[in-house]
């Protein structure tokens, strides 16, 4: 009878799972970094959990029904007991909630197959790693075992996040890394380290220091483990609309432990890149990573310390290559074509972390930590940029954190104070004037940069303190057991942005079928306003509060109910006053219109109400409506945690980057005027901003003299007075199953993001139109000024995903582990830009006119990993990544009629907004050429004993073992005579690649 019931359970679970697979990864509701254990035990007794490594103790009391909850547990291994016969040794992981029933029968039933051996002094115990299943978050854990055994190209701990379905970690051809989820940009994620968000409020990248950086956000040695939550996170997670990554750092223990390592690869240890093969020479390169960590007791069972350092030195190969219409590349000047081919990008970073913890009582824990990151890099070379465009970038990130945890039997409180100071400061290596080359029939399409613009000099950062308090009630009973958490956070951070310098001018030349014009059609240069600072600052005030209830109704049903509210004040936006001269210009005669028609009236004819953008200093209000309900459920079908259905819906608000808001202020103080020159390929009507070319203008002082005592050519950027914060709505439904030693999950996720900020061209022709004879009104700007650029909330994405995962966790008894993460993505966006962080869209008159096209993500992606304990102290690891091609999003000009009307995906110039996937470039085992990305990485580690407690290891990583070329760049040949080429987009076989060519990396280290 029992066997038959078990068969019925399995058959029912499989049937439900198969039914949902056609419409539905692991999911988790949890604290920001700590773990919670809840369950049943004897009634009215103490439950005590003692950390086996540090001696830290937590305690609570069961109620009359035997229910208990231990909250605020730092991840680790604990001996948990509720009296004689109930003792269990378990391992809990970061930001997770676990069920552990402490009855004598269940304690005795813990099986060795679930256990991992732990050494406690001279005593060996078995610790069961608890699995979180009764949650509604969509996500999964990245364990220390995975971090240590999975082959890796870098020391960036986020590299392992792509083992979670829905996540993509990318290393571009410049060596810069990024992490994103779905169709949203990397800016929309947030990373929490020890519960503290690392959000970048000024620049893209999601995390401070990660904008255009080869560096690592944190020393990998210091990361114990982390969890990735792709959607439906709890109410305590703030300032994100995409994925959350929550990591726990290592701490000192009651024993002294340390590591020291170094890794190395160079030119001789890698294959040639495609551009090096074509150029018949190899650019010199090397990569070095090195570091150490050390920790131990200050006072046994009470106080500990930990310190980690990692450094890296890179000299990475890069390919200089053009973009856009490939038929025009041979028409570039020969001196520019000579710049194509291999180049180098040097980089150096130092990354420090330190932490001290103290537990004066078994009810209190105080923790102090600090981080310092410093890096220098040469960047800005590669895709459509020659070495003459190079930047010297200095990047620093400092953080300090202190927190006090206090617990009783029925509640837990965390008071936390933080301070941050991050600076990003690129500057051009070459000053003076440089050249850029653009398509004659689509001036928005840059072919190649051969110099630096005034925008190359920047100084951006954030600095300031924050304080938060989180209070948890863990002993509330009402129709089940509740763990109720509520919190409040206040942050005052100074945001800084300098957007340009005045030492560079960039002249743009049109490239046509017959060659490159001898004179530029436009120039952009810096023109400072005397006596005014070019740096915009704002003391940003952020306030957030939330409440969430993890309600366990019974052994089957758990509900996760939460809501949060955020409020932000950015004074430089709210209090900004549009200059009186600009306002007067709008209300003045449009020089190109009939008498009596002001420029404001011209704009109104074109659908632009300039009053929506003119700020008086008191007509902008901070939004108070950022209410974010987050609800979820899980149903344990048979009460045994083996078959769980879950689902949820929630809303989450992100922040508008200060880089997007500050342009109103900085453009008016240190303007970057754009002057046009009348040329055969790009004609313009004579006026203050359209001049006849004179070679004397090849001088920055001469250019500045043209606009002296005037605003001619001075770009005016304006932001909508009703600007909204970007947000996403997230819906998910799925099922998790435990099948033998395997944990499997299948989920369907729908995410819609709204209100991303975007800038469009505000200029209009006198009759209000945006198109005339296939041209845009770039030279019809504000009277006496330059172009009008307007910012609105309008970017959107729509994403549907199927997320499927299967994991066999590592155990000492089995000696192996494996994981599979498959993602199917169907996503669209209302923009035709390959760079999701680019905030400018000039191909249509407004963002609402852009069609929804396929977003720049792969439809199919599979990541598989495995590790194996071999003989003689060897450990082997492998990682396979396969993905279909990413589409090229661009504006295709192939001879359609220039009607002057925007019709669907075709703009007034007869160019079409397209998203075209190039043909795949290779096979894997069987099948056709369907892949856009293929990578097989392998590693082998030999561990050996040196002396006493000192052990050594040597590791070899073979990256991209089959030397697959994962092309990044496209060759575009759109077609002609109104007929789109059947192979309009293919990969550039001599361009840059994503990731690495086949590379051998050697690492050696000592630990004790």
Does the structure show a pLDDT above 60 at 117? no
Local structure of residue 556 (DSSP, 8 states): S
With CA atoms as reference, report the closest residue to 798 among 854, 732, 858, 860.
Answer: 854
β partners of residue 132: none
Interval 876-891 mean pLDDT: 97
CA–CA distance, 991 with 317 (Å, rounded to integer): 12
Interval 579-597 mean pLDDT: 97
Does the structure show a pLDDT above 70 at 32? no
Determine what percent of the chain falls in helix, strand and coil, rounding each to the nearest 5.
10, 50, 40
Place of tokens 């079928």: 513
589-626 residue pLDDT tens: 999 999 999 999 999 999 999 999 999 999 999 999 99
Does the structure show a pLDDT above 70 at 830? yes
Does the structure show a pLDDT above 60 at 442? yes
**Tokens representing residue 44 in the block:** 């009215």
At residue 20, the pLDDT reads 38
CA–CA distance, 929 with 901 (Å, rounded to integer): 39
At residue 123, the pLDDT reads 38
Coil, strand or helix at 386: coil
Angle (CA) 187-192-195 rounded to 5° is 150
Which pLDDT band, with edges at 50, 70 and 90, does 6 fall under? very low
In 74-114, DSSP assigns E strands to 76-81, 88-92, 97-99
Local structure of residue 29 (DSSP, 8 states): -
Place of tokens 């400018």: 840
Q: State the average pLDDT for the chain.
A: 92
Residue length, the chain? 1008
CA–CA distance, 346 with 307 (Å, rounded to integer): 27
Does the structure show a pLDDT above 80 at 26? no
β partners of residue 346: 315
Query: With contact defined as beta carbons under 8 Å apart, do 44 and 62 qualify?
Result: yes
**Tokens representing residue 305 in the block:** 């310390």
At residue 7, the pLDDT reads 41
Which residues make Cβ contacts (< 8 Å) with residue 435, sequence separation at least 6? 336, 450, 451, 506, 507, 508, 509, 520
At residue 30, the pLDDT reads 35
DSSP string, 636-681: ETTSSSSEEEEEEEEEEE----HHHHTHHHHHHHEE--EEEE--SS
410-426 residue pLDDT tens: 999 999 999 999 999 99
At residue 106, the pLDDT reads 59
211-233 residue pLDDT tens: 989 999 999 999 999 999 999 99
CA–CA distance, 231 with 228 (Å, rounded to integer): 9
β partners of residue 369: 355, 401
With CA atoms as reference, report the closest residue to 888 among 383, 277, 164.
Answer: 383
**Tokens representing residue 357 in the block:** 């913890």
At residue 108, the pLDDT reads 53
Query: With contact defined as beta carbons under 8 Å apart, do 547 and 502 qualify?
Result: no
With CA atoms as reference, report the closest residue to 957 among 460, 342, 269, 301.
Answer: 269
Interval 707-722 mean pLDDT: 91
Domains of the chain and any CATH numbers: 25-129 (2.60.40.1120), 141-249 (2.170.130.10), 257-386+398-1007 (2.40.170.20)
**Tokens representing residue 543 in the block:** 């306030």
Does the structure show a pLDDT above 80 at 9? no
State how far the alpha carbon of 306 is from the alpha carbons of 59, 240, 417, in Å.
Answer: 25, 30, 20
């Amino acid at each position: 009878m029992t066997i038959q019931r078990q068969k019925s359970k399995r058959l029912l679970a499989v049937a439900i799972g198969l039914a949902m697979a056609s419409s539905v990864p692991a999911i988790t509701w949890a604290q920001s970094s700590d773990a919670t254990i809840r369950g049943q035990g004897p009634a009215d007794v103490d439950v005590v959990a003692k950390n086996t490594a540090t001696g830290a103790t937590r305690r609570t009391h069961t109620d009359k029904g035997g229910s208990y909850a231990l909250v605020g547990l730092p991840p680790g291994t604990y001996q948990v007991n509720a009296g004689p016969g109930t003792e269990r040794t378990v391992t809990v992981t970061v930001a997770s909630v676990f069920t552990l029933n402490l009855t004598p029968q269940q304690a005795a039933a813990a099986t060795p197959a679930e256990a991992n051996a732990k050494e406690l002094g001279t005593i060996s115990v078995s610790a069961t790693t608890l699995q979180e299943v009764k949650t509604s978050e969509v996500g999964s854990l990245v364990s220390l075992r995975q971090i240590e055994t999975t082959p890796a190209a870098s020391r960036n701990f986020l590299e392992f996040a792509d083992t979670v379905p829905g996540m993509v970690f990318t290393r571009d051809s410049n060596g810069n890394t990024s992490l994103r989820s779905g169709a949203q940009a990397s800016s929309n994620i947030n990373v929490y380290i020890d519960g503290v968000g690392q959000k970048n409020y000024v620049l893209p990248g999601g995390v401070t220091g990660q904008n255009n950086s080869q560096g690592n956000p944190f020393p990998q040695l210091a990361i114990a483990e982390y969890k990735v939550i792709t959607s439906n996170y709890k109410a305590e997670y703030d300032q994100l609309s995409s994925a959350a990554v929550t990591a726990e750092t290592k701490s000192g223990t009651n024993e002294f432990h340390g590591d020291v390592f170094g890794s190395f690869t160079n030119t001789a240890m890698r294959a040639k890149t495609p551009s090096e093969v074509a150029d018949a020479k190899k650019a010199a390169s090397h990569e070095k990573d090195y570091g150490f960590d050390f920790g131990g007791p200050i006072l046994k069972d009470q106080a500990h310390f930990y310190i980690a350092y990692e450094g890296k030195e890179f000299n990475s190969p890069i390919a200089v290559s053009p973009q856009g219409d490939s038929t025009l590349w041979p028409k570039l000047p020969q001196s520019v074509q000579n710049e194509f081919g291999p180049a180098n990008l040097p980089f150096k970073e130092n990354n420090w972390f330190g932490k001290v913890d103290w537990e004066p009582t078994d009810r209190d824990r105080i923790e102090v930590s600090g981080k310092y990151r410093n890096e220098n890099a040469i960047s800005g070379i590669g895709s459509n940029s020659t070495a003459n465009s190079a930047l010297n970038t200095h990047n620093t990130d400092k953080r300090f954190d202190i927190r006090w945890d206090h617990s009783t039997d029925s509640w837990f409180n965390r008071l936390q104070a933080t301070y941050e100071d991050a600076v990003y400061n690129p500057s051009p290596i070459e000053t003076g004037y440089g050249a850029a080359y653009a398509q004659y029939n689509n001036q928005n399409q840059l072919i190649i940069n051969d110099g630096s613009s005034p925008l190359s000099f920047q100084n951006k950062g954030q600095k300031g303190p924050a304080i938060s308090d989180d209070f948890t009630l863990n002993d509330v009973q009402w129709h089940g057991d509740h763990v109720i958490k509520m919190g409040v956070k206040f942050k005052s951070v100074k945001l800084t942005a300098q957007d340009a310098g005045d030492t560079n001018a960039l002249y743009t030349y049109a490239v046509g079928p017959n060659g490159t014009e001898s004179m530029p059609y436009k120039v952009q240069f810096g023109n400072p306003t005397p006596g005014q600072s070019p740096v915009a600052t704002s003391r940003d005030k952020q306030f957030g509060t939330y409440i969430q209830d993890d309600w366990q109704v019974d052994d089957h049903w758990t509900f996760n109910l939460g809501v949060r509210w955020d409020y932000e004040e950015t004074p430089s936006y709210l209090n900004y006053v549009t200059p009186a001269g600009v306002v007067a210009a709008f209300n003045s005669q449009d020089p190109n219109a009939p008498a009596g028609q002001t420029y404001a009236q011209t704009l109104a004819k074109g659908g632009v109400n300039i009053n929506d953008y003119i700020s008086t200093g008191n007509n902008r209000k901070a939004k108070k409506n950022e209410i974010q309900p987050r609800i979820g459920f899980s149903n344990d079908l048979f009460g045994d945690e083996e078959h769980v259905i879950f689902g949820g819906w929630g809303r989450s608000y992100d922040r508008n980057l200060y880089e997007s808001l500050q342009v109103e202020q900085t453009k008016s103080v240190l303007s970057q005027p754009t002057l046009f020159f009348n040329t055969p390929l790009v004609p313009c009507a004579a006026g203050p901003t359209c001049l006849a070319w004179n070679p004397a203008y090849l001088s920055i002082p001469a250019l500045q003299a043209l606009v002296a005592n005037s605003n001619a050519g001075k770009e005016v950027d304006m932001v909508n007075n009703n600007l909204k914060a970007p947000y996403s709505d997230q819906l998910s439904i799925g099922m998790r199953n435990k099948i033998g030693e395997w944990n499997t999950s299948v989920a369907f996720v729908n995410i819609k993001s709204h209100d991303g900020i975007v800038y469009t061209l505000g200029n209009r022709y006198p009759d209000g139109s945006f198109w005339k004879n296939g041209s845009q009104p770039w030279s019809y700007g504000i009277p006496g000024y330059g172009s009008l650029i307007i910012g609105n909330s309008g970017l959107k994405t729509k994403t549907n995903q199927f997320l499927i995962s299967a994991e066999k966790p590592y155990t000492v008894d089995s000696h192996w582990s494996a994981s599979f993460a498959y993602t199917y993505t169907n996503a669209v966006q209302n923009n035709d830009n390959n760079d999701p962080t680019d905030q400018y869209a000039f191909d249509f008159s407004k963002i609402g006119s852009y069609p929804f096209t396929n977003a720049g993500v792969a439809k199919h992606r599979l990541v598989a990993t495995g590790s194996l304990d071999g003989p003689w102290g060897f450990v082997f690891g492998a990682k396979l990544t396969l993905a279909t091609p990413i589409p090229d999003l661009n504006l295709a000009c192939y001879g359609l009629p220039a009607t002057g009307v925007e019709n669907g995906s075709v703009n007034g110039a007869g160019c079409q907004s397209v998203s075209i996937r190039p043909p795949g470039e290779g096979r894997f085992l069987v099948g056709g050429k369907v892949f856009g990305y293929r990578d097989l990485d392998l590693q082998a580690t030999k561990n050996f004993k040196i002396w006493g407690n000192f052990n050594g290891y040597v590791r070899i990583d073979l990256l991209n073992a089959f030397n697959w070329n994962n092309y990044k760049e496209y060759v575009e040949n759109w077609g002609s005579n109104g007929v789109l080429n059947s192979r309009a987009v293919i990969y550039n076989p001599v361009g840059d690649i994503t990731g690495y060519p086949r590379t051998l990396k050697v690492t050696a280290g000592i630990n004790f």
